[in-house]
Structures are given as structure tokens and as C-alpha cells.
């Protein structure tokens, strides 16, 4: 703003207006980045359901039967997409994660779902 005022005193009458516009754009960018940083997903897995709750709450939680859920890590541009597929429907999760975090979540979900599908007498021995 000081440079814009100095430019205005030197004869550039539009410099303060461009400076205000620039400050507005920077503030808008900061606001959008701050809002994007609040996004989160909670994935809860039980014997009966796999539940995905997205924050901030924009839609009701998605509930899927865990026995039928398949986890897919699909190539995409510019990042891979992590999806849960059940009964012909695919839901993307972890879109805000980095590639390494997305791959880690993929491996954890696959292992947890595989463990859940084991018969009860085998689940106890794999929990160690």
C-alpha cells in the first residue's frame, strides 16, 4: 500500500485501486486455503458397516456393508484416486490427502477389510 501511495503521489492515480484489488485477491486466496484445510473424513469400520463421515458436514454419513466393499487405487491425473466400490457404486475418499498418505490409507483399509472378512476363530489369531 505504501508503494501504491508513493506511485499515486508521483502521478499514477490508479495505483491505489490496483493495490486494493491485489489485497482483496490475496485475502480471498487465504480464505479459500483456510477453508480447504478444514476438510476431513472419518472412516469407521465395524462388523456391520463401513461409515464415512465428511467434515464440514454437508451430507449425511455414507454407510456401506463392509463385506462387499472393495478398495481401489486408480491412476488419475495428476494424482491417484482412492475409491471404495460397493454394489456398482464408487465413492472417492481422501481426495485432499497427499500421494503417500493416500497409499497408506489404501493399504490400511485393505488389511482391515480382509481381517474383518475372516471367520471369527481366525480373527483372534491375526489381531496380534
Question: Tens digit of pLDDT per residue, the chain (128 long)?
Answer: 888 889 888 988 889 999 999 999 999 999 988 887 778 899 999 989 999 998 887 778 889 999 999 999 988 778 899 999 998 888 999 988 889 999 999 999 999 999 988 876 565 555 54
Q: Which CATH architecture fits 40-126?
A: Roll (2.30)
Give Cα separations from 70 to 1, 48, 50, 94, 122 (angstroms): 55, 15, 11, 15, 21
**What local confidence, expressed as pLDDT, does residue 121 receive?**
57
Domain boundaries, the chain: 2-36, 40-126
pLDDT of residue 23: 93
Contact status, residue 109 vs residue 43, Cβ threshold 8 Å: yes
Q: How many CB atoms lie within 10 A of CB 4?
A: 18
- Spatial neighbors of 15 by CB under 8 A, at least 6 apart, are 3, 4, 5, 7, 8
* Whether the predicted model's global pTM rises above the 0.85 cut: no
Amino acid at each position: 500500500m505504501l508503494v501504491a501511495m508513493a506511485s499515486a503521489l508521483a502521478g499514477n492515480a490508479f495505483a491505489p485501486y490496483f493495490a486494493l484489488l491485489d489485497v482483496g485477491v490475496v485475502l480471498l486466496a487465504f480464505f479459500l486455503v483456510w477453508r480447504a484445510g478444514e476438510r476431513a473424513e472419518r472412516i469407521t469400520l465395524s462388523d456391520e458397516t463401513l461409515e464415512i463421515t465428511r467434515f464440514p458436514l454437508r451430507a449425511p454419513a455414507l454407510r456401506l456393508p463392509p463385506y462387499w466393499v472393495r478398495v481401489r487405487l486408480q491412476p488419475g491425473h495428476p494424482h491417484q484416486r482412492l475409491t471404495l466400490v460397493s454394489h456398482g457404486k464408487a465413492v472417492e475418499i481422501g481426495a485432499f490427502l497427499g500421494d503417500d498418505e493416500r497409499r497408506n490409507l489404501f493399504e490400511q483399509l485393505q488389511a482391515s477389510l480382509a481381517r474383518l472378512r475372516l471367520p471369527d476363530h481366525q480373527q483372534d489369531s491375526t489381531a496380534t
